[in-house]
């Protein structure tokens, strides 16, 4: 489904076509093939950056870093990607029970 979504809406979302992996590369990267993992990470980074533009992003304490910045204010890169993703997912979990 992700593959179809990205291919159908990449032009609307302004995703660079050069970072969209083929279906085989995407599947290989998702199962942990180190040779193709980088391409999957590039695609997920692009999709994550787009999700941060979502206007419904909560502004509460759980959506902020320890320095008080909102998730969307922090530049996303490979070094902070996993931590920002954790913060983002915790803002989607209103009761604190769904995402550990």
pLDDT at residue number 26: 94
Total domains in the fold of the chain: 2
The two three-digit tokens of residue 6, written as one number: 């990205």
Measured CA distances, 50 to 30, 46, 87, 100 (Å): 20, 6, 15, 23
Is there a single domain that holds both residue 61 and residue 30?
Answer: no
Structure tokens at 77: 């890169």
Same domain, 12 and 26: yes
Q: What are phi and psi of 70, to 5 degrees?
A: -75, 160
Structure tokens of 94? 């209103």
Q: Looking at the structure, do residues 47 and 62 belong to the same domain, yes or no?
A: no
**Model pLDDT, residue 23:** 94
Residues 1 and 28 in one domain: yes
Regions of the chain short of the pLDDT cut 50: none
Structural domain of 43: 1-51
Q: Mark whether 4 and 33 lie in a shared domain.
A: yes
pTM of the model: 0.74
């Amino acid at each position: 489904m992700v593959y179809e979504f990205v291919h159908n809406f990449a032009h609307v979302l302004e995703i660079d076509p050069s970072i969209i992996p083929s279906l085989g590369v995407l599947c290989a990267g998702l199962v942990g093939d180190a040779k193709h993992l980088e391409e999957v990470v590039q695609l997920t980074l692009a999709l994550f950056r787009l999700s941060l533009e979502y206007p419904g992003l909560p502004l509460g304490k759980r959506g902020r870093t320890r320095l008080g910045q909102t998730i969307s204010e922090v530049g996303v890169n490979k070094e902070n990607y996993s931590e920002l993703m954790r913060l983002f997912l915790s803002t989607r979990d209103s009761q604190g029970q769904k995402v550990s």
